[in-house]
Amino acid sequence: MLESQTPIHHDGPDRDTGLSVTRAAPAPAAPAMPAARRRKALIAVPVGVLALAIGYALVGQSPAPAAPAPLPTVTVAAPLERAVTEWDSYVGRFAASESVDIRPRVGGPITAIHFRDGQNVARGQLLFTIDPRPYAAALAEAQARASQARTAAALARAELVRAERLIADEAVSAQEIDTLRATVRAAEAQVAGADAAVRTRQLDVEFTAVRAPISGRISDRRADVGNLVAGGEAGSATLLTTIHKLDPLYFTFDGSEALYLKARRAGADTGGEVEVRLQDETAYKWRGTLDFTDNGIDPRSGTIRGRAVVANPDGFLTAGMFGNMRLASAGERPALLVPDSAIVTDQARKLVYVAAADGTVTARPVTLGPVINGLRIVADGLTTADRVVIRGLQMVQPGQKAELRAGSIAPVAMVTAAATSLPVPAAQATFAR
């Protein structure tokens, strides 16, 4: 602890106690403020008062009005009016318009094969040869029996003629005449039976040459030369090969009940135009006609089977190929289109923003159709006189005004679902050709 520097004075004994008391000396007076410092202090007082007065005046005044915000700028355009064709999409496979299993009618060893595996064959072309010698021998035997039957029939007729001459002389009885006539008829029946046997053996000989029943592309052979094959009924006969007719081809598919009703009401359940694209193609280049729909809907799946005929003149297509098909659900019709990006979703509703002449933006509910090259078909809700906001949607709200800028609507090149591995939409549309 620091000691005090204040001087201590002894004033002598205390009058009350008689003791000697030491008293502190009074503190010295503060030195006088210099004149320059006093002048600065006097000047500082009015400056502070002035600052307070200015601050109070500023706080008491109302703020200056803010400048109005500029109107957002949006691009508007009238809907594009074009003729379109709407399609419904299906998935299916190609199938041969005719398909035949080649099986022999007679059995025996194969002696020759007259085609190359996979080649195109014509109707009636020779494919296999089965050893004909046993059947040729059976034919000769049948012919001999037929000759014998004809000889017996000729003898019976001759005896009947001689007997009829003796009737006038009563040399023969009526019973003998009846017997001879019956013998003739029996002999003629034997001739007919023998001739039928000959024709059967002739067919067997012909069946040893197995020919193509239709024109088309043949598969590989299932039996080589020297193999013994069985003939007869289809279930027991040996399968030799198959032939598929590939021009034209069938395209088979299953459609939902809803799509069937739509096509039925549009009159496109038969005779409608179809277009097909393969899994590695981006365009629908294969065209055909719907020629068959089944006579009932499958109650287990709720679908109905359909078939279209597709021309295949160069043989590029083959049975079993997968494809996406679209069916024209109606004829060409005019439609209004807007960019798909101009569609706004409000819960379950679809809207577009429409601008009035004074720039006021309103929301318009619309009914939509398929997309064509980035443009969405508007089935209901717009007219050609409307000006639709196509750019700047995020800058405006319904009921607000905006500065309008004129624009235009045109189709854009789109990447197809095949190139992007996206699922094909159930409904499509194209511009009318």
pLDDT in tens, the chain (433 residues): 334 444 444 444 444 444 444 444 444 444 455 555 555 444 444 555 555 555 555 555 555 566 677 888 899 999 999 888 878 888 999 999 999 999 999 999 999 999 999 999 999 999 999 999 999 999 999 999 999 999 999 998 888 888 887 876 777 778 888 888 898 899 999 999 999 999 999 999 999 999 999 999 999 999 999 999 999 877 789 999 999 999 999 999 998 888 888 877 776 666 678 899 998 888 889 999 988 888 899 999 999 999 999 999 988 999 999 999 988 766 677 889 999 888 998 888 899 999 998 889 999 999 988 888 888 889 888 998 999 999 988 888 888 888 899 988 988 765 444 444 444 555 566 766 6
User: Residue 117, exposed/middle/buried by CB under 10 A (0-12, 13-18, 19+)?
Assistant: exposed
What confidence score (pLDDT) does residue 38 get? 52
- Give the pair of three-digit tokens for residue 126: 């020779």
What confidence score (pLDDT) does residue 16 get? 45
Count of the separate structural domains present in the chain: 4
What's the CA gap between 398 and 339, in Å, rounded?
19
- Give the pair of three-digit tokens for residue 420: 């992007």
Q: Give me the CATH number covering residue 370.
A: 2.40.420.20
What confidence score (pLDDT) does residue 65 get? 63
Is 123 found in the same domain as 218? yes
Q: Which residue has the tokens 């059967």?
A: 200
Is 213 found in the same domain as 126? yes
- Give the pair of three-digit tokens for residue 228: 């013994």
What's the CA gap between 147 and 198, in Å, rounded?
10
Q: Give me the CATH number covering residue 232.
A: 2.40.50.100
What confidence score (pLDDT) does residue 411 get? 84
What's the CA gap between 126 and 124, in Å, rounded?
6
Q: Quick check: is 343 in a domain? A: yes
Q: Which residue has the tokens 């992007």?
A: 420
Q: Quick check: is 396 in a domain? A: yes
Is 347 found in the same domain as 315? no
SS (H, E, C) the chain: CCCCCCCEEEEEECCCCCCEEEEECCCCCCCCCCHHHHHHHHHHHHHHHHHHHHHHHHHHCCCCCCCCCCCCEEEEECCEEEEEEEEEEEEEEEEEEEEEEECCCCCEEEEEECCCCCCEECCCCEEEEECCHHHHHHHHHHHHHHHHHHHHHHHHHHHHHHHHHCCCCCCCCHHHHHHHHHHHHHHHHHHHHHHHHHHHHHHHHHHCEEECCCCEEECCCCCCCCCEECCCCCCCCCCCEEEEEEEEEEEEEEEEHHHHHHHHHCCCCCCCEEEEEECCCCCCCEEEEEEEECCCCECCCCEEEEEEEECCCCCCCCCCCEEEEEEECCCCEEEEEEEHHHCEEECCEEEEEEECCCCEEEEEECEEEEEECCEEEEEECCCCCCCEEEECHHHCCCCCECEEEECCCCCCCCCCHHHHCCCCCCEEEEECC
- Among 328, 359, 375, the domain boundary falls at 328
- Among 328, 351, 374, the domain boundary falls at 328
Q: Quick check: is 140 in a domain? A: yes
What's the CA gap between 208 and 240, in Å, rounded?
13
Is 289 found in the same domain as 267? yes
Q: Give me the CATH number covering residue 293.
A: 2.40.30.170
Q: Quick check: is 409 in a domain? A: yes
What's the CA gap between 295 and 431, in Å, rounded?
33
Is 309 found in the same domain as 254? yes
Which residues, at least 6 apart from 400, have a Cβ–Cβ distance to it below 8 Å? 72, 360, 361
Q: Quick check: is 271 in a domain? A: yes
The residue count for the chain: 433
- Among 187, 207, 227, the domain boundary falls at 207
What confidence score (pLDDT) does residue 116 get? 94
Q: Quick check: is 17 in a domain? A: no
Is 338 found in the same domain as 424? yes
Is 223 found in the same domain as 265? no
Is 148 found in the same domain as 136? yes
Pick from 422, 99, 97: nearest CA to 252: 97
Is 290 found in the same domain as 183? no
Is 81 found in the same domain as 140? no
| Structural domain span for residue 168 | 132-207
Neighbouring CB atoms inside 10 A of 214's CB total 16
What confidence score (pLDDT) does residue 62 get? 55
Query: Against a cut of 0.85, is the pTM above it?
Result: no
Is 219 found in the same domain as 119? yes
What confidence score (pLDDT) does residue 379 get? 87
Q: Quick check: is 148 in a domain? A: yes
Is 286 found in the same domain as 368? no
What's the CA gap between 224 and 238, in Å, rounded?
12
What confidence score (pLDDT) does residue 261 get? 86
Q: Quick check: is 34 in a domain? A: no
Q: Give me the CATH number covering residue 187.
A: 1.10.287
